[in-house]
């Protein structure tokens, strides 16, 4: 099974950064932010076997893309909070 590690990085960074923002944090906006950030970052696939996924994630997290991830997540928060898809 393949998973895109970038989704985990974006998830983590997004919830970390959103603590400092007053914007809407509903499911719709969170998904939009995630999609926005992920579309601007390279996919980073790892293969997983039953049970081994967690050690792989921890190892991979050591090498997570720092600056690009940070920028993409901040832009995503800004973009989506200014253009909410719901009222």
Write out the residues near Zn ion by the rule CB under 5 A: 24, 26, 28-29
Q: Which is nearer to Zn ion, 27 or 62 (CB)?
A: 27
Q: Which is nearer to Zn ion, 29 or 77 (CB)?
A: 29
In angstroms, what CA-CA distances link 8 with 29, 60, 83, 86?
17, 10, 24, 26
Q: Which is nearer to Zn ion, 3 or 24 (CB)?
A: 24
Q: How far is the CB of 68 from Zn ion (least distance, A)?
A: 25
Q: Kindly provide the residue ranges of all beta strands, DSSP E only, lying in 9-87, ordered along the sequence.
A: 45-47
């Amino acid at each position: 099974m393949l998973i895109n590690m970038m989704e985990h990085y974006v998830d983590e960074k997004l919830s970390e950064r959103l603590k400092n923002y007053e914007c809407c944090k509903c499911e719709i906006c969170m998904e939009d932010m995630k999609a926005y950030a992920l579309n601007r970052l390279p996919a980073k696939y790892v293969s997983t076997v039953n049970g081994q996924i967690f050690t792989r994630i921890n190892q991979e997290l050591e090498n997570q893309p720092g600056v690009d991830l940070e920028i993409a997540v901040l832009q995503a928060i800004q973009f989506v909070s200014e253009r909410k898809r719901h009222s």
